[in-house]
Amino acid sequence: MYCSPACRQKAHRARTARRVAALSRQRSDATSGDVKPVAVRPDIARSLERAREQIAESRRLCRISAERLRRMAALQREIGNRQEVRATTPMPYAKWAR
């Protein structure tokens, strides 16, 4: 229990600062060449793997979408260069309205 919200916040900031300092020490140790293997819980490892798979799938779908957009633009340019040819002759209004 804290005497005031300010004391609670001060304690929270101190805990956070200690965690950040510990993480920075670990990072500096890792960059100095002493790489220590980190054990990851299996459920977290599965979540990370699923996230990687979903990112890969998202990138694949983006590539497919971009390719289809390029094809569509090419077809539109090709069709735009041709003369418009009607497949059938339109019927006069009076014939089909009866």
pLDDT tens by residue, 9-32: 999 999 999 988 888 887 776 666
Question: Average of pLDDT values for 53-68?
Answer: 94
Contacts by residues 23-30 (CB-CB < 8 Å, ≥ 24 positions apart): none
pLDDT higher for 94 or 10? 10
More confident residue, 92 or 23: 23
Asked if 40 and 48 touch (Cβ cutoff 8 Å), the reply is yes
DSSP characters over 17-55: HHHHHHHHHHHHHHHTT--------HHHHHHHHHHHHHH
**Cα(24)–Cα(63) distance, rounded to whole angstroms?**
38
Tell me the pLDDT band of 39, cut-offs 50, 70 and 90.
Answer: confident
Distance CA 49, CA 57 (A): 12
Q: Which pTM was predicted? A: 0.42
